[in-house]
Homo-oligomer: A and B are copies of this chain.
Amino acid sequence: MRIAIDGMGGDNAPQAVVNGVVQALNEFKDIEFYITGPEDVIKEQLKKENYTGDKITIIDAKEVISTNEHPVMAIRKKKDSSLCKALNLVKEKKCDAVLSAGSTGAFLAGCNFIVGRIKGVKRPALTPIMPGKNAPFMIVDAGANVDCKPEYLVQFAHMGREYYKGVLKVENPSIGLVNIGAEEEKGNELTKNTYQLLKNEEGLNFIGNVEPRDVTSGDTNVLVCDGFVGNTILKMYEGTASTLLNIIKDEILSTGVKAKVGALLLKPVFKSIKKKFDYKEYGGAPFLGVDGICIKAHGSSDGKAFKNAIRQSKQFYDSKVLEKIKEELELKA
């Protein structure tokens, strides 16, 4: 397998990117890497990592797209950027997958314009995999499409199903429609109309509406919604978890010595919880519906997060999810 890596994407690039690649090379023997970025900068970084093997090719790219730039403009103008060059490697079938921790907007725009959509796909969807209480769950879409039509959400369901089945190895993943009521007739125009389509759609284990209250249990594998709601869920999850852990910390600090002793004893528990909620364990968010394996890693990814996103790309590739999505959606188109 050949993976293209945007060497300059993310808060900790290029150090974390190159480190993640070197970690991955120690773990997976059958991957070749193409790292894009200014040749001297990437070379310097490889030297620091003491890498001397032949499984990394540097693809020189002089420009970098920052998170402050207008995504579409940046993709159109900066043809020599590390992101565009990495995407082109997939477009030209020189690589099987592409990975970036840079600007989400630019990555999505670049996947659409350079890699292109799968025939029949109306809107590709950003689909992070989140830690739930009982199992991980996927949100399709988490922000790529803020205004949606019911037929987009039906495709989200199929793409999410194929990914969850192939990569998370669940035979018949459950599909839920995020809605503010459990009953069929509840919700807004979009969810009411989508419910009717999903109910009659073949090949989906559609379990009905799922209220946001029940999302984090992880009892439903794939949750479909428009990108505005999906992004709200994603960020409420992060925000509430962080608020709550901060409140616990504040309360402990403001109470007497006893509580501090208690906190000390509970340290391993909190550590294990932190690990459970750690995005680094899950890799990145695949952008499903484009004609290639395109994975958006978290902006603040460190080496370990990159390594896990590389593992995820490999699972995506080995399980032939891309081919299955194509079959599924081209058939229906």
Q: Which residues of A contact B (CB under 8 A)?
A: 132-133, 143, 146-147, 178, 180, 187-189, 191, 211-217, 226-229, 231-248, 251-252, 255, 258-259, 261-266, 268-270, 272-273, 276
List 14 interface pairs A-B (beta carbons < 8 Å), by A numbering.
A133-B246, A180-B232, A187-B228, A212-B232, A212-B236, A212-B239, A213-B235, A214-B239, A216-B239, A216-B240, A248-B270, A248-B273, A261-B262, A262-B266
Main secondary structure of the interface of A (DSSP, over half): helix
Verify A180–B233 contact, CB threshold 8 A: no
Once the chains are docked, how many angstroms separate the CA of A212 from the CA of B234? 9
Whether A266 contacts B263 by the Cβ 8 Å rule is yes
In the complex, chain B residues whose CB is within 8 Å of the CB of A228: 180, 187-188, 191, 229
CB distance from A224 to the nearest CB of B (A): 14
A295–B232 CA distance with the chains assembled, in angstroms: 27
Residues of chain B lying within 8 A (CB to CB) of residue A238: 213
CB nearest to A68 among chain B residues? B183
Which residues of B have CB within 8 Å of A245? Answer: 244
A217 (CB) vs chain B CBs: closest residue: B243
| Contact indicator A239/B266 (Cβ below 8 Å) | no
Expressed in whole angstroms, the minimum distance between the Cβ of A210 and any Cβ of chain B is 10
Measured CB to CB, the nearest residue on chain B to A255 is B269
- A147 → chain B closest CB, angstroms: 5
Assembled-state Cα–Cα distance A180/B243 (Å): 18
A316 nearest CB across to chain B (Å): 26
Q: How far is the CB of A231 from chain B (nearest CB, A)?
A: 4
| Residues of B with C-beta under 8 A to A189 | 146-147
Q: How many copies make up the complex?
A: 2
Q: Is A239 a contact of B251 with CB atoms below 8 Å?
A: no
Q: Given A259-B266, A265-B259, A269-B251, decide whether A236 and B243 contact each other with a Cβ distance below 8 A.
A: no
Nearest residue in B to A186 (C-beta to C-beta)? B146
A264–B266 touching, CB < 8 Å: no
Partner of A236, one of B227, B237, B269: B237
Option from B211, B235, B239, B263 in Cβ contact (under 8 Å) with A235: B211
Name which residue of chain B comes closest to A134, CB basis.
B243
Q: A180-B143, A235-B211 are in contact. Are A248 and B229 (CB under 8 A)?
A: no
Q: A147-B189, A229-B232, A240-B244 are in contact. List 10 more A-B contacts (CB 8 A).
A: A178-B232, A212-B232, A212-B236, A212-B239, A229-B229, A232-B236, A248-B270, A252-B266, A255-B272, A259-B265
How far does the Cβ of A70 sit from chain B's closest Cβ, in whole Å?
9
Select the residue from A227, A245, A262 with max chain B CB neighbours within 10 A.
A262
For A228, give the chain B residue with the smallest CB separation: B188
A231: chain B residues at CB < 8 Å are 180, 212
Q: A287 vs B213: C-alpha distance in the bound complex, in angstroms? A: 22
Are B261's CB and A265's CB within 8 A? yes
State in angstroms the CA–CA spacing of A178 and B178 once bound together: 18
The answer to whether A268 touches B259 (Cβ under 8 A) is: yes
Chain B residues lying within 8 Å of A237, measured Cβ to Cβ, are: 236, 240
